[in-house]
Amino acid sequence: MKASPEHQNLLIELQLIDTAISHLKIKLANLPEHEQITAIHTRLENTAVELAVVETELADVAIDLRRVEVDVEQVADRISKDESRLSSGTGSPKELEQLQHELATLAKRKSELEDGELEVMLKHDGVKARVDELLNDQVGLKQLELELNIRLENATTEIQSEIGTRQTERAQLAPKIEVSLIELYEKVRASNDGVGAALLVGNKCEGCHLSINAIEIERIKSLPADEIIRCEECRRILVRI
């Protein structure tokens, strides 16, 4: 195949644009915000799971607390009734003695219940604190997610705009190059990581970075400037400088 050196040079320019577009697309797909947002989602999910567990626990502890409060109130009521009966002095001495005995038992019971009540209250406070902490985490994580989404959107817009600029450049450049050369370039590029044309610098192919043997270099030198040459190693279009 033949193409003028001018067209071959334009092909290198096209390659530079295509390489830039490829890099921008890779950058777009690998924006750190994607990974950061995924991590935030995982944390939000974990927080929601723990929150559900801790909220259930809080509801259970609240019931326990109410139960022990009722127990304390009931014992306090009985003590107060017994005390008023005792102070009224009605009843036989034996009955009064029984009342005093019962009051001592009730006081002991009340003290035990109050200890239990304190324990449940402390547990309730601890669980409540964890619920609050998780709710707080949720708010913070959602705020962070929002900020990351904005950053992602801005970065995406910026890169897409750069890609757009490069694509416009490409659209202006491509028609200046011979169709058959472009077709060959596209074919080679498709199977060579997006690089279809490379410069021959000294005896080195800038596409695969391998040296071309002396015999081949001599052969290339003997070819007219409009002869399209290909790298023996990577098959890319080699453009002489």
With binding defined as CB under 5 A, does residue 196 bind Zn ion?
no
11, 72, 207, 228: residue in contact with Zn ion (rule CB under 5 A): 207
How long is the chain? 241
Cβ proximity to Zn ion: between 10 and 231 the closer is 231
With binding defined as CB under 5 A, does residue 205 bind Zn ion?
yes
Roughly what angle, to the nearest 10 degrees, separates helices 93-173 and 32-88?
170
By CB under 5 A, the residues from 217 to 236 that bind Zn ion are: 231, 233-234
Kindly state the smallest distance separating residue 158's Cβ from Zn ion, in Å.
Answer: 34
By CB under 5 A, the residues from 130 to 149 that bind Zn ion are: none
Q: What pairing do the DSSP bridges indicate for beta strands 197-201 and 204-205? A: antiparallel
Structural element, H or E, at residue 6: helix 5-29
Kindly state the smallest distance separating residue 210's Cβ from Zn ion, in Å.
Answer: 6
Binding window for Zn ion (CB under 5 A); candidates: 10-18, 53-61, 71-79, 203-211: 203-211
Roughly what angle, to the nearest 10 degrees, separates helices 179-190 and 5-29?
40
Kindly state the smallest distance separating residue 176's Cβ from Zn ion, in Å.
Answer: 25
Q: Looking at the DSSP assignment, which residues form a beta bridge with residue 201? A: 204
Cβ proximity to Zn ion: between 184 and 205 the closer is 205
Give 183's contacts (C-beta < 8 A, 6+ positions apart): none
